[in-house]
Structure 1
């Protein structure tokens, strides 16, 4: 079968190659992949961080080609969206039945492929923050994959949403997705935030710590800025805020099924900003690393 594999000598450090087909475990199905979405964290960036020949890939959607030998999970021919820590960028993927959800016909493979990492991360971050209607929820990196879904899910929860972006062009479309306020990195919220979902870290997080309501919660999802946030514990005493590091975990099948249902009902929008054939992987990685994608980049398999 064909797959995208790590090759640090290639542009984008990825090339299309032929590799052996995967062998499933008893509780795994074999999926013929139709679309994948890219996440910054899965891209090989420097020599040695990911060995040559590795098949990356967390998010993939496609059709079940072989059902699980255990009898669990979807049947042959069912359309599914899948999550795994490796090997999603291939024509065939093995995936545990607890890490997938069945897709209704109205949800495209390209849209579904955006969900596993970005939408489920956003869902779990807001759940961890215990967002309630009327709360003021800030989202940094709001134009990225996780951020775009966090804006939408916070809006669906009845929150007043503050979307923080790097510049005006990055904020386009966020109001339509549910953001009540779209702010640049140098702008401050008019009211203190009850919840902050932080994807950026660095100076922006340092500053926003001083704009928190009493008993606020900060859910630290990522640090896309690459810079350290700098503040002392005294900065948190006034608001009595809690900073919580995001942890993966939970019922992946149930969470995926939930966001799939929201997508099918038109309550959630898949933010596909760039889409191409998987042969364009070098351009895709360049755009993603250059922060030129709002929302998600998706590749389809030819």
Structure 2
């Protein structure tokens, strides 16, 4: 038996191709999930080209679907439960997933919407927690129109912070005030007061500029590097009042936090922007749109059933 999957192939367009892979076998603390939707991240595209995910391995981290086999040790959700998961090798028709890596999806939340939560939502939630927030915190979110950015804007605003959203163009700033940003800037133009926290997904020269805007005691969380450009700090830029730049990676089980995020979506307290929605048969198109910064929010791929491609 086998299932269809998207696997890494450095010679293929977007370094990914379709392949038949062995039907997954669940371990004692795992469930089998029939995947209905997955979402695509910049990190997935970089993983496919960098060698971090080896050739022939299944790509992906974000998935939502339905449990078709419960865990043999009695843990986790029952057969028929709708779930969202953050797991390696997510881009396949069926995946074995650790019970700690998934959460139940409320009935009012579409699985396409749930699939957009894992990497971007967890990155936003954990990076904000790591940086520390208070009601008077000034938070700068760069790349605010992207998946992580939109979640970070909303979660920071919910915590009572003053949120400044930085985007690449006026068009990409659309809707950010409505979800919690007090200011929307093109790049960092016009930002002349220090900020306490930066959630940065752009990197490059903008990261250096954000460092210069950081107040004493402030923190930058580096969650991405979509610019692909080097960050060059001038001499003595890191000498002075204490402030920090922290690298970020998602580690450990994410199930509890996925439950929090899915619950906020169900309560209509967290909006999920899907800027590209279509069949996974159009993976290359989705990848090109994401790399070309033509996607606001998330790109979501339907694994099962027909899905009409939507672009914004």
TM-score tier by shorter-chain length is over 0.9
Deviation track 1:234-265 (CA, whole Å, cap 9, x = no partner) reads: 43454421222224235511111111111110
| 1:89 is the counterpart of 2:85 | no
**Cα deviation 1:66-88 (Å, max 9, x = unaligned):** 00111100000000001112x21
Residues 212 and 239 of structure 1 are in contact (CA less than 8 Å); yes or no, is this contact kept in structure 2?
Answer: no
1:57 is matched with which residue? 60
- Answer with 256-265 or 233-242: which moved more: 233-242
Alignment of 1:70-149 (within 5 A): 70-85=73-88, 87-149=89-151
Cα distance in 1, alignment partners of residues 81 and 272 from structure 2: 21
Alpha carbons 2:48, 2:59 under 8 Å: kept: no
SS in 1 for 2:299: strand
Match of 1:273 in 2: 275
Q: Which residue of 2 aligns with 1:6?
A: 8
Stretches of structure 1 that go unaligned for 5 or more consecutive residues are: none
Q: Secondary structure, in 3 states, of the residue corresponding to 1:19?
A: strand
Q: Deviations over 1:265-295 (max 9, x none)?
A: 0010111111001111111111112222111
Compute the displacement of 1:114 (Å).
0.8
Whole-Å separation in 1 of the counterparts to 2:239 and 2:54? 45
Distance in structure 2 (CA, Å) of the matches to 1:226 and 1:192: 26
Residue 14 of structure 1 and its aligned partner are, at CA, apart by 2.4
1:25-68 Cα shifts (integer Å, max 9, x gaps): 11010000010000111125548664442210100000000001
1:134, 1:160 within 8 Å by CA — same for their partners in 2? yes
Name the structure 2 match of 1:230.
232
Using the size of structure 1 for normalisation, the TM-score is 0.94
Kept in 1, the 8 Å contact 2:16–2:48? The answer is no
Matches of 2:205 and 2:234, distance apart in 1 = 13
Alpha-carbon distance in structure 2 between the residues aligned to 1:251 and 1:18: 28
Mapped pair 1:288 → 2:290: yes
1:201-216 paired onto structure 2 within 5 Å: 201-216=203-218
Check whether the contact 1:12–1:283 (CA below 8 A) recurs between aligned residues.
Answer: no
User: Larger deviation: 98-107 or 245-254?
Assistant: 245-254
Contact (CA 8 Å) 2:196, 2:215: kept in 1 or not?
A: yes
Give the direction of change, closer, same or farther, for the CA distance of 1:208–1:68 in structure 2 (3 Å limit).
same
Structure 2 CA distance for partners of 1:129 and 1:250, relative to 1, 3 Å = farther
Query: 1: distance between equivalents of 2:11 and 2:271?
Result: 37
Native 8 Å contact 2:30 2:98 kept in 1: yes
